[in-house]
Amino acid sequence: MDTFGLKIKEDFVIENGFVCVNHSSFGFVPKEVFSQRIEHYTKFLQNPDRFVKIDYPKYTAEIRKTAAEFLNTDFNQCMLASNSAESFNSIIRNLGLTENDTILYFSIAYPMVQNTIKFMTTNYNVKEIKIELKRQHLDKQTILSLFEEQLKTQKITVAVFDNITALPSLKLPIKELILLCKQYNTINIVDAAHGSGITALDIKDLDPDFLFTNFNKWAFCPSGVNILYLKEQYLDKIHHNTISIHYGNGLAKEFEYSGTKDFSLPLSLIDGVNFIKKHGLNQIIQYSVDLAWEGANLVAQIWQTELLVNDKSMHSAMVNVRIPHEDQNYCRECQKKCYEKYNVFLVVFKYDELNWTRLSASLYNTIADYEYAAKCYLKVLKGEE
């Protein structure tokens, strides 16, 4: 790991002078992956007919095999998608849910997931149960107890939960949640948008019904690369949510071509995985998780505030720190000023009536990034900029 930090930052496509403590929103791409991305795109532009009609089916098979090996699952159960919304909508809108069914989820689920569930309740009269997670609930055992209580007392058809939530960011006990779903005969869907590249996702070990994960963000691919896993029993039931020319020709073909797009982009999954293999997944995870924890504690010290959760095992490479100001509008104004003046961007969000930031770490970060971010934002908060 001596090669991480400043030594490897020059190998990434990052604007000079930009201090990034928000890797988790979009991720950054290594120069070698970006260079290969341009090569793939050039091939596509030079002869799109050959690329799409002859080469692309072979490419997608190779991409899916690479993803399956990385996630430790079967190639035939991995579908190539563009993003989590595409994957989740294709699942939830094809399960045949009606007014007799109930979807269970946590209040800190990603807005896309919550909005899609709202769509299901509005258009198909599906029932929903939201488990409210306040600050006092943010420990593993309480989360599991609240979840099991609903499974015990309600007739739950589908449960949706994150591997790692976004805002606030917490690592949920997905293996135990999946086991509870099995115990109560509930279909489980794992939102692992934050997963590949920052946790060792082992699908054979987890054994979910459905799981979708981005390969941009933490797996060092450009935005637009997502894998949907589903159990074999659902292969004939689920369809791509966009009906296109391959409808009815098998789920893999439906996901392979759902309409005109940049067909070269998914090849970056192979390049991103190769980059991870070169540097070591476990080494990347350890460096990023440890630095995020150290950086967040430093920020809390500089701001004289606190972490949302003091249990390191509840975090990945994203940690939440309370902002020392109660007015969210002012915090957001300061966010903009800090970015414009100091070229550092801090996420601002409200949770349980308080304002927080989420700090991310990746292998190009150093502890100095968090000290700089904390001091710059504090200057702006105090009007000293």
Radius of gyration in angstroms for the set of CA atoms belonging to the chain, rounded to a whole number: 21
Token code pair at residue 262: 């940049």
What are the residues whose beta carbons fall under 8 Å from the beta carbon of 239, sequence distance 6 or more?
Answer: 90, 94, 247, 251, 254
pLDDT tens, the chain, 385 aa long: 678 999 999 999 999 999 999 999 999 999 999 999 999 999 999 999 999 999 999 999 999 999 999 999 999 999 999 999 999 999 999 999 999 999 999 999 999 999 999 999 999 999 999 999 999 999 999 999 999 999 999 999 999 999 999 999 999 999 999 999 999 999 999 999 999 999 999 999 999 999 999 999 899 999 999 999 999 999 999 999 988 988 988 999 999 888 888 889 999 999 999 999 999 999 999 999 999 999 999 999 999 999 999 999 999 999 999 999 999 999 999 999 999 999 999 999 999 999 999 999 999 999 999 999 999 999 999 998 7
Token code pair at residue 142: 């309480």
Per DSSP bridges, beta strands 318-322 and 354-360 are: antiparallel
Q: Is the peptide bond before 173 cis (omega within 30 degrees of 0)?
A: no
Q: What is the rounded distance in angstroms from the CA atom of residue 145 to the CA atom of residue 142?
A: 5
Q: What is the rounded distance in angstroms from the CA atom of residue 362 to the CA atom of residue 370?
A: 12
pLDDT tens digits, 192-203:
999 999 999 999
- What percent of the chain shows pLDDT beyond 90? 94
Boundaries of every domain in the chain: 6-31+280-381, 71-262
In CATH, the architecture of 6-31+280-381 is: Alpha-Beta Complex (3.90)
E-assigned strands of the chain?
Answer: 19-20, 78-81, 102-106, 127-131, 158-162, 187-191, 210-214, 226-230, 318-322, 344-345, 349-351, 354-360
pLDDT for res 1 = 66
pLDDT for res 260 = 83
Query: What are the backbone dihedrals phi and psi of residue 76, each rounded to the nearest 5 degrees, phi first?
Result: -70, -10
Q: Is 103 helix (H, G, I), strand (E, B) or coil?
A: strand
- Is residue 199 within 8 A of residue 321, CB to CB? The reply is no
In CATH terms, the fold of domain 71-262 is Aspartate Aminotransferase; domain 2 (3.40.640)
pLDDT tens digits, 329-376:
999 999 999 999 999 999 999 999 999 999 999 999 999 999 999 999
Q: What does pTM read for this prediction?
A: 0.96
pLDDT for res 2 = 77
pLDDT for res 378 = 98
- Average model confidence (pLDDT) for the chain? 96
pLDDT for res 347 = 97
